[in-house]
Amino acid sequence: MVKRWYTLTNYLFILPALLLFLVFGLYPFFKVFQLSLMSWDGISSNMQFVGLANFVEVFTQDKVWWSSVMNAAWITFLALTIQNGIALILALLCANDIKGGHVYRVIFYLPPVLSGIVIGLIWKWIFRYPDGILNVALVHMGLKHLVRDWLADPKTALNAVAAVHMWRGFGWGFVIFLAGLQNIPQQIYEAARVDGANAWQRFWYITVPLMIPVFILVSILTILGSMQIYDIIAATTNGGPGYHTEVPVTRILASMQGAGRFGYACAQGIAFGLILLTVSMLQLWVSNKMKRE
Amino acid sequence: MKRLIISAGIFMSFLPFLLISGCSLSPKNKINADPSKTVVMWHWLTDKEDALNELAREYYEKTGVYVKMEVFAPSEAYNQKIIASAQTNTLPEIYGILGSKRDFANFVKAGHVLKLDSYMEKNNQEWKGRFFPEALKSVSFVSGNEFGVESGIYGVPIDVINIQYIYNKKIFREAGLDPQNPPQTLDEFLAAVEAVKKAGYQGLVSGFSEPWLIDCMASNFAWNIMGEEKMIATYRGDVPYTDPDWIKVFSIIERMARAGVFASGVVIKSNKDAELEFALEKDAFAFNGSWAVHVYKDMNPEIEIGIILPPKVSNANPRGVWGGAGTWFAVNAKSDKSQMAVEFLNWLTQKEQQVRLAKETLSIPAVRGCLESVPEELKGFLSGMKYVYHPRNFPVQEDSVVVEAFDKGLQSIITGEKTAKQVAEEVQKVKARQMEKKRQKQNNTAS
């Protein structure tokens, strides 16, 4: 009897958390799925069941949607390579007890704590044509031929937005890499030194294998964060010029607010979630395979 | 120690009073109204907040009915708020609806909007007769509209707006142009831009990252070239976007872009950015609405502006400018205080209140006969009211996917990425696809 009472009490304790999860986690998830099967304007009480028609449109007809996915994928690719590459180099430098290392840590961690909208506005000003800091600097460096309207030029807009995103994001990777590097026991490096391993060998044969779990974590966070980029785009280009900086989140919003197609927007949201899930699982599988090898 | 404890005790005993007094309304705004005589009004108009609050206070003193104003800004947040409230049936007695006519129709069809014809037509149409007809068109549905809404009036405009070309008189003088004789035709306009550029200024700025502004500029040319009937026929699908008249519309934007009319980065500028740039006197022209006068004057009280209609590009039809009701409010049909809400809006649109609103918020009244109250800077916009139209008031609306392709295509023309002909063909492809979808949907419904 007493045992049953204890069990009941335990369940009673988790009940508030369970209720919150059901109401704010599980219910919205199933509601979005339900809405994705409907044609609904978002306001009226009448919804028309359309089956998988919204998904068929997302996957087979909506070219703009897929070009927005490709734009986000390109930004993600740049973030995975350049952003994380820079983050790793800086983390390696700071892990080596360089002079003023603590100051650098604070400086590198500043961009991620700023609001994306603020960062977007600052960089919009830096990229401004013809008198933004970047263009003025190019003129002073004798590179006048490179001066352009970086955010409004269809050829450079996406990369310019990606650059801003990477500037904002490298601080996260830096902090996680640094924590990972500091967890590697120094004795292993000392033993390698005694055995005559040079700096590259120490990095390749000690640091890289021991950092694989950290690489996996940073990669997954980078993929999820970059594919869902929105605030920087809203503050800089609003998806333009044309469709050149459209990303999935701006398309979902356009379906919801511009076209009043809530059902279709929900289908886009689910399709996007599936894409992210697939990419993350793939990434995890590849990383685990690498770890085993 | 004892002194410290006594000080802390005194402070703690006063703390609740300090907190309560901090949370309370200032004496000026404090109204202890009877809840049964209180109606709630939601809006997003931070610039009109003080004026509306003051008018609500006056109305309370006069009638005992308190209209509690609640502001939700910016407009995007407000829009989300009313959509969520509509879904949960928690809309207030009075609220504004932002967005397209389709959104408005959705609110009406969901039973959230009171039909106002019976109130407007009382006493020999006394209330209805006050308004500019264009203002009422924006808040009405005509019979046989494509949304299936019962024809009638569903909103109360409190001001009117229109969108025209605004020019900087000081820059005109510096460029050797006569501010009293601004350009009227496209050739004159291009020549004026060339002159101001030689004087070191940019041509025209606008917030073309917000698609409705670029859409507005192009549709004004379409209105002038082909007129209302052909535009409606296009939306209905009877005239393709590859029609020579539409290609002419796209070509005008192309010609303007090639002539360097548009300010740098215009396709990614928000209207707020564009307003700031024009107020800082970097550009000779702006394409913006009547509300902008207030904004420019706030940012730069010294700025001297003039207003012109869109450049004339054809003699076939009169020129047209987008416009109609600026700010308007709907009454919640599901509220048991809807009668009180209607009475307040009726009072708010009487001449005396309209004059006050116009003077205090630099806006154009929605009712006629207030000419003397319109601030000098807005007279150009007021005279433009006779050219006002809005595609939203057409019996047929263009599909939102086609509108997006049209607006994005115009951006591509401005950046030089695509030609007028290419964009016309692309927009037509999207139009054909959407028409096919519509046909399939109709067939499915019929079967």
Q: Could you list the mean pLDDT of each consecutive 10-residue stretch along chain B, which spans 447 residues?
A: 58 54 48 87 91 94 95 87 91 92 90 96 94 90 88 94 96 96 96 96 95 94 96 96 97 97 94 94 96 90 94 95 92 95 97 90 87 80 89 88 95 96 97 91 76
Whether the CB-CB separation of B79 and B295 falls below 8 Å is answered with no
A121 touches chain B (CB under 8 A): no
Architecture of the CATH domain B162-323+395-443: 3-Layer(aba) Sandwich (3.40)
Q: Grade residue A6 by pLDDT with cuts at 50, 70 and 90.
A: confident
Residues of chain B with Cβ-Cβ distance to A50 below 8 Å are none
Nearest to A241 among B99, B109, B412 (CB): B412
Q: Is A153 on the interface with B (CB under 8 A)?
A: yes
pTM score? 0.84
Looking at chain B, the domain(s) classified CATH 3.40.190.10 span 35-159+325-375, 162-323+395-443
Q: List pLDDT tens digits, range A199-229.
A: 999 999 999 999 998 998 999 999 999 999 9
Quick check: A259 contacting B, CB < 8 Å?
yes
**What is d(CA A170, CA B283) in angstroms, rounded to the nearest whole number?**
38
- For the record, the structure tokens of A288 come out as 């685990």
Which of the 8 DSSP states describes residue B269? -
User: For an interface test with A, which of B149, B267, B280, B404 has the most A Cβ atoms less than 10 Å from its Cβ?
Assistant: B267
Q: In this predicted model, what pLDDT tens digit does every residue of A266-283 receive, in sequence order?
A: 999 999 999 999 988 888
Q: Which of B106, B109, B265 sits opposite A260 (nearest CB)?
A: B106
A28 and B CB contact within 8 Å: no
| Collapsed DSSP state (helix, strand, coil) of residue B142 | coil
The CATH fold assigned to A61-292 is MetI-like fold (1.10.3720)
CB pairs under 8 A between A and B: 81
Burial of residue A272, with CB atoms counted within 10 A of its CB: 0-12 exposed, 13-18 middle, 19 or more buried? buried
Q: Which residues of B touch A44 (CB under 8 A)?
A: 106, 109-110
User: What integer pLDDT is reported at residue B12 of this predicted model?
Assistant: 58
Distance of CA A194 to the CA centre of its chain: 41
Using a CB–CB cutoff of 8 Å, tell me whether A68 touches chain B.
Answer: no
B35-159+325-375, what's its fold? Answer: D-Maltodextrin-Binding Protein; domain 2 (3.40.190)
What pLDDT sits at residue B9?
61
Question: b/e string for B80-100 if b means 16 or more Cβ within 10 A?
Answer: ebbbebbeeeebbbbbbbebb
8 Å CB contact of B400 and A260 = yes
For residue A156, list chain B residues with Cβ-Cβ distance below 8 A. Answer: none
A10-13 contacts: CB < 8 A, separation 24 or more?
A: none
Nearest-Cα distance to chain B for A34, in Å, is: 16
Chain B nearest C-alpha distance from A18 (Å): 24
Domain ranges of chain A: 61-292
Selection from A144, A136, A146, A161 nearest residue A237 by Cα: A161
Both tokens of residue B307? Answer: 């207003």
Q: What are phi and psi of B327, to 5 degrees?
A: -100, 130
- pLDDT score for B24: 44
- A130–B87 C-beta distance less than 8 A: no
A38-39 and A48-49 strand pairing:
antiparallel
Q: Which of A43, A54, A149, A230 to mutate to test the interface with B (most CBs of B within 10 A)?
A: A43
Over pLDDT 90: what percentage of chain A?
73
Quick check: A42 and B87 CB within 8 A? yes
pLDDT single digits (tens) A9-68: 988 999 999 999 999 999 999 999 999 999 888 877 778 899 999 999 999 989 999 999
Residues of chain A contacting residue B110, judged by C-beta atoms under 8 Å apart: 43-45
- Give the separation between CA A258 and CA A246, rounded to whole angstroms: 14
- Does A230 touch chain B if contact means CB atoms closer than 8 Å? no
Q: A149 and A60 in contact (C-beta within 8 Å)?
A: no
Query: Is the CB of residue A154 less than 8 Å away from at least one CB of chain B?
Result: yes
Question: What CA–CA distance (Å, rounded) separates A203 from A181?
Answer: 11
Residue from A238, A246, A253 whose CB has the most chain B CBs within 10 Å, to mutate = A238
Provide mean pLDDT across the span A249-264.
88
Q: Encoding tokens for residue A75?
A: 């930004």
Percent of chain A beyond pLDDT 70? 99
Instruction: Please tell me which residue of chain B has the smallest CA distance to A48.
Output: B445
Tell whether A242 is within 8 A of chain B (Cβ).
yes
